[in-house]
Amino acid sequence: GMVRHQQQQHGYKGYIATNPNCSTTGLVIALKPLFDAFGIDEALVFTMQAVSGAGYPGVSSLDIMDNVVPYISSEEDKIESEPCKILGGFDGSQFIEAPMNISAHANRVPVLDGHTITCSLKFKKKATVEEVEAALTGFRSEIQDLKLPSAPASLINVRTEADRPQPRLDRMA
């Protein structure tokens, strides 16, 4: 939609497609089935981002050992705005953002690989824990239908243990 619109408006032959923020990607995968099933008014999002997410050279090992960096520049703004655009719609000429409020806090933590997100949601429609679990476990996307060799069989793995997920134990789940 938007690519064709911009090509027509500006006479472009090619285009550049960008990816959303890394934390936004994981967050939206989990929010999508819940947004579709129950609607979301508000989300309070906390990210605990691995040192690998800072790129090279990243956070100095002496700065992160035995430490948490409680703010990652520009991350919170992206996490607060990008999901609304992704979960919203497109009317043929512009994006229509999903009507929800997101408050985000981004933290760098001493984990080598694997971001973790905790999220509290206020749904538009009342939902039980069982209904939320069913919406998450039942979610399918085009990825499964395409049967790509690197695509996971399931996009979302629901863990019911109180102490999970943990990056060291679950990053390859």
Residues that are catalytic: 22, 115
Radius of gyration of the chain from its Cα atoms, rounded to whole angstroms: 18
Strand partners, 117: 47
Q: How far apart are CA 98 and CA 89, in angstroms?
A: 7
Cβ-based neighbour number of residue 36 at 10 Å: 12
C-alpha 42/C-alpha 131 separation (Å) is: 18
In the chain, the DSSP E strands lie at 40-49, 89-90, 95-96, 101-108, 116-123
Instruction: Render 57-71 in DSSP notation, one character per residue.
Output: S-S-HHHHTT--B--
